[in-house]
Structure 1
C-alpha cells in the first residue's frame, strides 16, 4: 500500500541509492584516469625500449578506452547527482503537501477510512 510514510521512504531510498551510485562512479572515473595515465606511460616505455610500434599503438588505444570510460562515468555521475536532487525535491514537496494532513489524521482519536475508500472516479 502506498501511503505517506512508504512513499517518503521509497523516495529517500532512491536519493540514497543515487548518492551511493554517484560516489562509486566518481571512484571509477578516478581509477580509469589513473589507468589511462599508466597505459600512456607504458606506451612511452615501449617506445624507449624499441618495441614494435604496433604494441605502442595498442597501449595508446587502451589508454583512450580508459579515458572514454572515465568520461562516461562522469556523465552518469552527473545524472545520478541530478536524480538525487530530484528525489529530494519530490520528498520535500510531498512532505510539504501531505505532512500536515498525515499528522492530523494520526492525532485524531477517530478511526479513519481504509485506503482507497475516498477514491474519486
Structure 2
C-alpha cells in the first residue's frame, strides 16, 4: 500500500561490489524490504562518487570502476521504516544510512471541483 501524507525516506549508500552471501547487497536489502511489507524500494546506480575511503569511483571509460556507487531508497510510513532498521542493520553494518522526513502527495484523486471563473 502506498503511503500518503507524512512519510520517511530511508537511503542506504553502498558500492556496487558490496555483497551479502555472494549476491549484491542492494538485492538483499530490496528482498528484505519486500518481505517486511514496505511500500517499495528502488536501487539507483551512480556514475561517479566517493565515500569514507576518499577513492573516487567513476564510470568514465578511461578510469572504469568495478565499484560504482549504489543507493537503495525506501519510502513508507515512519513506524514501518523504523521497524525495518534492525533487519537492515543485520546486513548493512557500518554503511551510511540516512532517514529524511518526506511528504507523499495524493495525485490523481478526484476532489471537490475548482470554482469556475465568474460564478
* TM superposition score normalised by structure 1: 0.25
**More strand per residue:** 2
**More helix per residue:** 1
- Larger C-alpha radius of gyration, 1 or 2? 1
* TM superposition score normalised by structure 2: 0.25
